[in-house]
Amino acid sequence: MTKKQILEAIERHCNTECNLDGDVCCNVSCELHPSKIDKIKRNKSKLLKAIREHCLECCGGVPRSVSACNSSKTCALWPFRMGQEIEGIQFHVDINPEDDIENVIF
């Protein structure tokens, strides 16, 4: 997985699965808030850690529930929920990993 894939998944999750009213997200406590992601967007391990924290919050702080999450078809973050690289993972975010990450818009 690339930083570009991770950032695209976060963007998709925030803009089409979470913050559905299209306004600027006001949940500044979220690990995936644009103000936080902007500071770590060049560090893949920190991006994965932020997603992991978000998934733990989604699952009430229960790691086993994150592992068992069955939202692979509906949540763009699903391939990254374990906070680490997973062999053979399928992405449903269709992007070109060669694209410049500066073009990712939050």
Position among 25, 59, 93, 101 found at the interface with ligand SF4 (CB under 6 A): 59
In the three-class reduction of DSSP (H, G, I as helix; E, B as strand; rest coil), residue 98 is classed as coil
The distance of closest approach from Cβ of residue 31 to ligand SF4 in the complex, given in angstroms and rounded to an integer, is 10
DSSP class of residue 15? I
Question: In terms of C-beta density within 10 A (0-12 exposed, 13-18 middle, 19 or more buried), how is residue 15 classed?
Answer: middle
The dihedral of CA 91, 4, 52, 11: what is its sign? negative
77 binds ligand SF4 (CB under 6 A): yes
Position among 81, 86, 88, 102 found at the interface with ligand SF4 (CB under 6 A): 81
Residues found near ligand SF4 in the complex (CB under 6 A): 54-55, 58-59, 66, 69, 71, 75, 77-78, 81
